[in-house]
Amino acid sequence: MNRNTRRLAANAISRVFMYGFAVLALVPLALILIYVVIQGLPALLHIEFFLNAERPEGIPGGGIANAFAGTVVMVGIASVIAIPIGIVSGVQLVEYGRGSRIADGVRLACDVLVSIPSIVIGLFIYGLLVVTFHGPNGFFGALALAILMLPVVVRTTESAVALVPGALREAGLALGLARWRVALQLILPAAIPGVVTGALLAVARAAGETAPLLLTTVGNVFLTFNPGERMNALPLTLYHDALQPYPDLVRTAWGAALVLVLLTLLVNVLSRLALRRQIRLAGRI
């Protein structure tokens, strides 16, 4: 067996192992998704599941209208707070924070926040705001979610911006542009795919969080769009209803889980389509 044959054999064996381990990693995910679809699909086949709010235990016809509205409102507020701050902070760490002790401290704080249990963030907001203002509400829940989203956006934005070639910065500075204009008008658009991916990861994490909301917004069986009141969320509905002995509530919990999966899929597909369009337009310019 010559050297070329050995290389081809080693390459084939490595490829088999690579595909095998990839399939092995996807099997648990596929089983979970299939089981959630099987259990949650019957609830989604009824229109009242989307239009009705929760019903008392044992009364059929309940839905997730209040939980869906609460999730959209709180995640939306958290995104408005965390994503702009995180993007600007990530750009600043790369463009202005090299060798800075403040930048090193920000990176360390982000790493700690990413790894800290989410219930600790909920407890922090509970002790700082809920106790101070004598009651939970949707805005406090959104603030806890924003704190969870912020380090993810910062670190992913920093990584995406750091991958932009330095020649682009030098070209902008050579044209006489101010450094902040180079960062925001040249560097950030070039890194937008990675930035959007990081923002989506943060949104997905916030949409699926339960522990902080148990302490900051508690939940609400009524439909409300006012963040100044207690609000429900899809993870809260899943958590509460899955523990009940009533089949209707358990079915609602599985339906809420499937809706969360579908929402995450929809956001990712729409973002990919938008990015593909932007890249196509950039190629025409």
User: What are the pLDDT digits (tens) for 221-238?
Assistant: 888 899 989 999 999 988
- Can you give the length of the chain in residues? 285
Output Rg (C-alpha) for the chain, integer angstroms: 23
36 found inside a domain: no
**Confidence class of residue 47 from pLDDT cuts 50, 70 and 90?**
confident
268 found inside a domain: no
194 found inside a domain: yes
51 found inside a domain: no
DSSP per-residue string spanning 245-257: S-HHHHHHHHHHH
* Counted domains in the chain: 1
Among 1-15, 50-64, 254-268, the minimum mean pLDDT is found in 50-64
pLDDT of residue 246: 81
Q: Output 269 or 89, whichever has higher pLDDT.
A: 89
Beta strand extents in the chain (DSSP E only): none
Give 131's DSSP letter.
Answer: T
> Tokens standing for 254?
């599985």
pLDDT of residue 57: 66
Average pLDDT over residues 117-136: 90
Give 217's DSSP letter.
Answer: T
Average pLDDT over residues 152-174: 86
pLDDT at residue 146 is higher than 60: yes
What range does the domain containing 122 cover? 68-245
72 found inside a domain: yes
**Confidence class of residue 278 from pLDDT cuts 50, 70 and 90?**
low
Average pLDDT over residues 114-143: 91
CATH number, position 195: 1.10.3720.10
217 found inside a domain: yes
Residue 237, H or E segment: helix 234-242
- Coil, helix or strand at residue 63: coil
pLDDT at residue 266 is higher than 90: no
pLDDT of residue 285: 45
138 found inside a domain: yes
21 found inside a domain: no
**Confidence class of residue 174 from pLDDT cuts 50, 70 and 90?**
confident
Average pLDDT over residues 177-203: 84
Its pTM stands at 0.85
Average model confidence (pLDDT) across the chain = 85
Query: Rounded CA gap, 6 and 120, in Å?
Result: 54
